[in-house]
Amino acid sequence: MISVDLKGRRALVAGVADDVGFGFAIARALAEAGASVCLACWPPALGIFETLLRRGKLDASRKLSNGQELTFERIYALDAAYDTLDDVPAEIRENRRYAGRGDFTISGAAQQMKEEFGAPQLDVLVHCLANGPEVHKPLLDTSRQGYLAALSVSSYSLVSMVRHFAPLMPRGGSVLSLTYLASERVIPGYGGGMSSAKAALEADTRYLAFQAGRKYGLRINTISAGPVATRAASVTGVIDEIVDYYAANAPLPEKLTTREVAEVATFLASPLASAVTGSTLYVDKGFHAMGKALGDSKDHL
Cβ neighbours for 90, distance < 8 A, ≥ 6 positions apart: none
Cβ neighbours for 65, distance < 8 A, ≥ 6 positions apart: 32
Q: CA 181 → CA 29, 141, 286, 292, distances in Å? A: 23, 21, 11, 15
The active-site residue, picked from 157, 183, 195, 198, is 198
In contact, 37 and 27? CB cutoff 8 Å: yes
**Does 7 qualify as catalytic in the annotation?**
no
Sort 299 into a burial class: Cβ within 10 Å, 0-12 / 13-18 / 19+.
Answer: exposed
Name which of 136, 143, 246, 134 is nearest 185 in CA terms.
246
Q: What are the two backbone dihedrals, phi and then psi, of residue 75, each rounded to the nearest 5 degrees?
A: -120, 120
Q: Is the peptide bond before 120 cis (omega within 30 degrees of 0)?
A: yes
The active-site residue, picked from 36, 155, 157, 174, is 155
**Does 198 qualify as catalytic in the annotation?**
yes
Cβ neighbours for 2, distance < 8 A, ≥ 6 positions apart: 272
Q: What positions carry a catalytic annotation?
A: 155, 198
